[in-house]
């Protein structure tokens, strides 16, 4: 091939993208970059706490310290531990799962803005950005769950066959949370003010997801309890607690939680993909 022909081929490869890639092609492009998607979160995690004495131990210390504060204030002082036999594990489990959800959803509002210069420099499937961000949070979440298992053993819980169901439950949580991240990534690109407003909404979700207390110990109102049961985050937290503590969990949660995860992941991905050409655009 001549130099001129190679130059022409390069020009064709580098021409601006003026049309959203078809969905199948888009997914193929994502799969082709799967190694990059897995590697970037690990690299980001290594550098996040390089300037601190304890380094990445803070990924574990932060949620545990948060749980300690809630344990002191909301446990003995406000008696929100009523109806819960092993409140420390109950509380830490809820905080770990909700933290994974809130970090991904809140961070989604900033995903596209943080990577704006990169997107203007070259083309790649933009879904890599929210997917890698969710994976990064998941990498941080998993060691925390290992610590929860250690706390459960230290507080008298015995290993059970239910613990074997933790991995599929956590995979369902990852799928659901990633779908939510796709949605907030696009919404954050459209509405920059969402970055300031969303944390307050997430805070309401924190108190409405049974993270600190067992709802059935505070109300017998069926409508109120149904609101909790229909909350997908509450369902995921309940399933993890069922696996660790053998706490009662409605059987239909096993269908509802994967159903929510599928709908949010597929719907969130398609919603994000439809605006592919807008991300990084100067218009």
Work out the average pLDDT over 78-102.
Answer: 87
- CB burial of 222-248 (b: ≥16 within 10 Å; e: otherwise) equals eeeeeebbebbbbbbbbbbbbbbbebe
Q: Calculate ∠ Cα 162-266-225, nearest 5°.
A: 50
pLDDT tens figures, 97-134? 999 999 999 999 998 988 888 888 888 899 999 999 99
- Domain ranges in the chain are 18-278
Q: Which residue has the higher pLDDT, 249 or 60?
A: 249
In the three-class reduction of DSSP (H, G, I as helix; E, B as strand; rest coil), residue 80 is classed as: coil
Q: How confident is the model at residue 12 (pLDDT cuts 50, 70, 90)?
A: very low
Work out the average pLDDT over 190-207.
Answer: 91
Q: DSSP secondary structure string, 188-237?
A: HHH-TTHHHHHHHHHHHHHHTTTSSS-GGGT---HHHHHHHHT-HHHHHH
pLDDT at 39: 81
Work out the average pLDDT over 221-249.
Answer: 95
Q: Which residue has the higher pLDDT, 161 or 282?
A: 161
């Amino acid at each position: 091939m001549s130099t001129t022909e190679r130059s022409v081929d390069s020009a064709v490869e580098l021409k601006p993208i003026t049309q959203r890639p078809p969905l199948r092609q888009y997914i193929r492009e994502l799969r082709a970059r799967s190694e990059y998607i897995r590697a970037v979160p690990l690299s980001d995690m290594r550098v996040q706490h390089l300037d601190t004495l304890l380094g990445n131990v803070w990924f574990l210390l932060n949620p545990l310290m948060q749980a300690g504060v809630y344990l002191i204030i909301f446990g003995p002082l406000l008696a929100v531990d009523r109806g819960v036999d092993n409140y420390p594990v109950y509380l830490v489990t809820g905080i770990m799962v909700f933290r994974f959800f809130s970090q991904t959803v809140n961070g989604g509002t900033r995903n596209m803005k943080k990577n704006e210069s990169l997107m203007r420099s070259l083309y790649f499937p933009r879904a890599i950005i929210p997917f890698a961000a969710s994976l990064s949070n998941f990498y941080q979440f998993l060691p925390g769950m290992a610590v929860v298992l250690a706390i459960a053993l230290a507080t008298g819980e015995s290993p059970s066959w239910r613990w074997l169901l933790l991995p599929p439950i956590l995979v369902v949580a990852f799928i659901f949370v990633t779908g939510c991240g796709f949605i907030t990534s696009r919404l954050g690109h459209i509405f920059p003010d969402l970055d300031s407003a969303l944390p307050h909404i997430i805070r309401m979700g924190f108190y409405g997801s049974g993270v600190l207390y067992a709802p059935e110990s505070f109300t017998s109102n069926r409508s109120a309890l149904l609101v909790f049961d229909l909350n997908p985050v509450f369902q995921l937290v309940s399933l993890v607690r069922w696996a660790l503590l053998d706490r009662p969990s409605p059987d239909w949660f096993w269908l509802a939680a994967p159903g929510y995860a599928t709908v949010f992941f597929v719907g969130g991905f398609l919603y994000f993909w439809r605006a592919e050409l807008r991300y990084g655009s100067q218009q």
